[in-house]
Structure 1
Amino acid sequence: MAYSLRRYREGDAEPLHALTLAAIAQIGPAAYSREQVAVWASRHGSPGRIRERVANGHSIYVAADERGLPVAFALLEQDGHLDQLYCHPDHSRRELADQLLALAETEAGTRGIARLYTEASELARPAFERCGYSITHRRDFEIDGVAIHNYAMEKRLG
């Protein structure tokens, strides 16, 4: 299957929200318990939240299938924080995460951002490592009383 990379478009919010929930529900259990997956998914409110993030100046980079439908995305905040990186389970393991991270890095470079950083799940960590991010520390925390973890990671640019 051929994919194209592009920026967020009007109408993408619903498919991005749906693919986020599908990725968490279907891929999440490979590294997290049922309870952890449930609380993780609970933090991803609605398509309206995605539209709000774009309206606030955050950039969303989309990998689209041959029909132009989003199958993966990365969300870059203005300060270099990569807040989200999700791929629909039917399209995982096709280097889409690597391509999206490269696109976000290029954009960050044009904006003069010197450092990209994220909090990567156990599952996203390998993609970030492949793209040159380093772990600064493991983050252990709770969501609604459920213990979960991810990794603070960063990459210096330039």
Structure 2
Amino acid sequence: MAYAIRSYRDEDAGTVAAVCAAAIEAIGPRAYSAEQVAAWRARHPGPQRYRDVVANGAQILVATDEQDRPVAYALLERNGHLDHLYCHPDHTRRGLADLLLAEAEVMARDWGAERLYTEASDLARPVFERVGYEVMHKREFAIDGVPIHNWAMEKPLS
């Protein structure tokens, strides 16, 4: 299957939200408990959030299938924070994360960001490490009283 990377369009909001939900629900249980997955999923509301972050200056890079349907995406904020990197479970292990991270890096450099940084799940951590991000520390926190963790990671751009 051939994929393309393009900028988010407003009509993508529902599909991007569905990609996020599917990824958390299907892939999350490989590293997190059912309770943790449910709490993580509840933090990601519907399509309006994507419209709001784009309206506030963030960029969403979308990987699309041959019918131009979003199947993965990266949400990059102007300060270099990569807030989301999600791939639909039917499209994992095809290099989409690497492609999206490469495009996000180009964009961040164009914006003048000095670094990229993220909070990666146990599942995403190897993807980020593969493209040069370093673990800064493990983040232990709770979502609605449910203990969970992720990894603060960054990649200098200078």
- The normalised TM-score by structure 2 is 0.99
Secondary structure in 2 matching 1:45: coil
Aligned to 1:35: 35
Which letter maps to 2:38? A
Q: Distance in 2 between matches of 1:126 and 1:74?
A: 16
Q: Distance in 2 between matches of 1:76 and 1:118?
A: 10
Which letter maps to 1:30? R
1:12-65 deviation per Cα after TM superposition (whole angstroms, max 9, x unaligned): 000000010000000000000000000000000110111111111100000000
Identity %: 62
Aligned to 2:81: 81
Aligned to 2:131: 131
- The normalised TM-score by structure 1 is 0.99
Which letter maps to 1:155? K
Which letter maps to 1:10? D
Query: Following superposition, which runs of at least 4 residues in structure 1 exceed 2 angstroms of deviation?
Result: none
**Residue segments in structure 1 that go unaligned for 5+ positions in a row:** none
Which letter maps to 1:156? P
Aligned to 1:65: 65
Aligned to 1:112: 112
Q: Distance in 1 between matches of 2:35 and 2:10?
A: 33
**Residue segments in structure 2 that go unaligned for 5+ positions in a row:** none
Secondary structure in 2 matching 1:11: helix
1:72-94 deviation per Cα after TM superposition (whole angstroms, max 9, x unaligned): 00000010000000000000011
Q: How many aligned residue pairs are there?
A: 158
Secondary structure in 2 matching 1:102: helix
Q: Distance in 2 between matches of 1:32 and 1:95?
A: 23
TM-superposed deviation, 1:10: 2.0
